[in-house]
Structure 1
């Protein structure tokens, strides 16, 4: 899906595609990230339910974040998605969804994560797994300057 970074962890504005999605960082610790999205009409498909591309993008972001936590202000870590598999399990048309990514395994450069999306009633909307590669300079916790 692309590059992922942690610039929004420290309150900076979301940029590019991240801004287009319009999510909020709910939680982020080593090995786990949670993002939340209040659904808007732009997130829905022609049938009036959340678009699978939105779900997949959010899963991709949260799962990459799970392996790239950076606790240092003004710095970030980056990863590139190598593979991503998404399974859709439900639908919703409104409210706020929560996307959780968890790092499951990995070495110094490659890691694996799983993800889940739930609506605000706790219904499971999608699950995913992915493999990510840490970009050069991001292999240490201090990452690189933003």
Structure 2
């Protein structure tokens, strides 16, 4: 990950809702993105386990990133979610969770990704599939200025 964009992906200076979630970028490369989140009380539901909305949001982010990697410093690529299906398979209430998104297929504007969330012990917490559309200006690898 280049130094110029590192501050954006380390949980600092994340815009809006991303900042509220408080994740950090573990890795990001062509067709694959990994983010991590240290669970805080604000991430939990009334039952004391991670909220499904937090899991779905993180999956959405990682899967979109999997199809929008940009290796050019000071630039980024953007996509919007067209559809997203999440299946919850486990629970946890503490520790660090790891979310992996992988681009599976796509053309110049539309792509499909899959995602998984695991806890620190490797237990599967959720899986997802999504379809995204590349935003105008983000079709090429150099994307748009940040």
Q: What TM-score does the superposition give when structure 2 sets the normalisation length? A: 0.93
Q: Which residue of 2 aligns with 1:3?
A: none
Q: State the 1:10 CA deviation.
A: 3.0
Counterpart contact for 2:137–2:144, Cα < 8 Å? yes
- Structure 2: gaps spanning 5 or more residues: none
- 1:75-94 paired onto structure 2 within 5 Å: 75-94=75-94
- 1:1-146 paired onto structure 2 within 5 Å: 9-12=5-8, 13-146=13-146
| CA offsets 1:55-84 (integer angstroms, 9 cap, x no match) | 000000000000000011110100000000
Distance 1:61 1:109, change over 3 A: same
Q: State the 1:9 CA deviation.
A: 4.6
Q: State the 1:15 CA deviation.
A: 1.1
Q: Secondary structure at the match of 1:54?
A: helix
Question: In structure 2, how many angstroms separate the alpha carbons of the residues matched to 1:10 and 1:30?
Answer: 16
Q: Secondary structure at the match of 1:128?
A: strand
Counterpart contact for 1:10–1:74, Cα < 8 Å? no
Question: In structure 2, how many angstroms separate the alpha carbons of the residues matched to 1:129 and 1:9?
Answer: 27
Question: In structure 1, how many angstroms separate the alpha carbons of the residues matched to 2:38 and 2:5?
Answer: 18
CA RMSD of aligned residues (A): 1.0
Q: What TM-score does the superposition give when structure 1 sets the normalisation length? A: 0.93
**Stretches of 4+ aligned residues off by more than 3 angstroms:** none
